Structure 1
Amino acid sequence: MLEVADLRITYGGNSGWFGRGKAPPPTVKNVNFTLKAGETLGLVGESGSGESTTGKAVLGLIPFDGSVRIAGQDVFQSSPSIMLPIRRAAQMIVQDPYASRSAHECRQGRCGTAGHPRHRDGAGAQGKGCRTSHPRGPDGRCRRTLSARIFAGQRQRICIARALALEPTLIVADESVAALDVSVRARVLDLMLELQEQMGLAYLFVSHDIAVIEKMAHHVAVMRGGEMGTRRQVFESPKDNYTRGLMAAVPIPDPRRHRTEAKALRVS
């Protein structure tokens, strides 16, 4: 479903006077992975390590060097007629539900789903994802609510529903449940797993919450250290010092227990 080879992303051009300075270092480099239908790859790492940037590049939202192929089609090399159905089949759940619609769409009056405060909510959140968009049940009352009155958690569920409404085959989920409370988060994740089984969805799941990745992912890729493997391999037997540091930083909800791997946090 998704093939990424030698992905490299650099923000900005040459620095200094008249652009004659040194080029900035790449934000993301040497990223390689594949993702099959019906599977989830979790991208983890500290803030700024390039997980969200990688997710945007996968969908062709930002320029990059390297190769990204969705369902066998190169994201940048294929003609618009070929890429149109591919882009429809590849959707993204953004991290910030308040910034999920562009200003142009707001001016054109096409942001009724989760954007402009004067538009009714839920216009595009129909189909298989509807159950995630109605915090008060499937009776449609949420659709009659002005967007300005919808809380962040409700907006995030609407964003998830919008992504699912087109019945995609690939979803890039960038901190897709970060704005939800714990109980709603668990229900939404269970629903996403159910839909994955029913529809054969492939998820590229970006999250700083290791518990979420552990629940959702079949395979895990650590951005900074470069370690990749099955969920069990990465979480239970990490080989890289940086990965061990991430695992050691996960809080344990028991004050009587202490991690013995505290030294692993001191990574270069």
Structure 2
Amino acid sequence: MTSTLPPPEQPGLERARITARTLRTDRWWSGPALTVLGLTAFLVYGLARALQQDHYWVQEYHYLTPFYSPCVAGQCAPDAAVFGRLPWDFPWFIPFAVISLPLLLLFRFTCYYYRKAYYRSFWQSPTACAVREPHAKYTGETRFPLILQNAHRYFFYAALLISLINTYDATVALFHGAGGGFGIGVGNLVLFTNVVLLWCYTLSCHSCRHVIGGRLRSFGSRPVRYRLWTVVSKLNTRHMAFAWITLGTLVLTDLYVALVASGVLTDLRIVN
């Protein structure tokens, strides 16, 4: 006997249909709204500071804000440009750290967590479970420009290199206390706290976990890689937390260096 029922729809060809605006009764909108506010605030602050081109360097203690590292513009203070300066001055719309900032932004922009965050908040795809979507079609990350999200693994290597540069900046500052010797001030603690948390965010990346153990069929003969993989896997469970914490520490570190550089604050010395 031949069935007269219509064939079942193939899963994935159409989006879930919700006729009501939402089936939720909780404050489902608070998460996306806070995400928009948080990311927008960081982007506005970061853009303003990158274009300010001032109060980025404390000569006395060699404090360099991560927003300007590495400093490569012709206007950079000579001691701040530890890797050298380009032989020309930058116009106001090009940040001094023109090499690192785009790579770091792309690393975060393509990050698996941040994709989830801004897809749900800015793009609203999807805003939340059981909430009607404003988009009729869904192609995922299979078409331009979102297919470029797959380059995240390459930006991870760039982020590793820049984390090493930030670590170098924080370490060098330890040897510029009073009289040019070893010293520790509040600024050193701020710089190192930021560096440690940036390493936690970078190493907790999904791409890092894949690089260490994702291609192996067995860890049996690779105990060192297995140990590293377990450590990174534990960090990976807190990747979202590190993603937000480091946005805050980047702002606080830059703000502290700017206030000391402008003379608003005096760096409290612990060991001169």
TM-score norm. by structure 1 comes to: 0.24
* Greater gyration radius: 2
TM-score norm. by structure 2 comes to: 0.24
Pick the structure with more helix per residue.
2
Q: Which has the higher contact order (CA 8 A, sep 6+)?
A: 2
